[in-house]
Amino acid sequence: MAFAVRSVNYQSNRMLNICDADLVGRTVKHSDLEINISQSYYAERIVEENEAEYLLKNSSIINMVGKQTIELSIRIGIGSAKGVKEIEGVPFLLVFKF
């Protein structure tokens, strides 16, 4: 399983943008909302599941997109299915840990 990640430090916190690697480059729309799952925002590099898990556990602000990404976060106790929203069948989840 491959994940696209971009990690940055933001106000003394690690912010992680992570998605299923196969979603990079896709644009999803709902009414007047359009979200581009861009390489520049999500895909600084590609990692495997063990590194994705480490990054999820060690980040304070997490922006997640994709079924595999969100399933991993829920499995390791980071995300909650209650917060998941979908656009064109693509799940999104934001997590803030402070």
What structural domains does the chain harbor?
2-96 (3.30.1860.10)
**13-20 and 61-65: which strand pairing?**
parallel
Residue whose entry in the numeric block shows the structure tokens 């999820």: 56
Alpha-helical (H) ranges within the chain are 39-42, 49-57, 67-75
- Answer for the pair 61, 85: CB distance below 8 angstroms, yes or no: no
Q: What pLDDT shows up at residue 70?
A: 98
Convert the pLDDT of each residue in 23-67 to its tens digit.
999 999 999 989 999 999 999 999 999 999 999 999 999 999 999
Tell how far CA 54 is from the center of its chain.
Answer: 13
Count of CB atoms within 10 A of residue 28's CB? 17
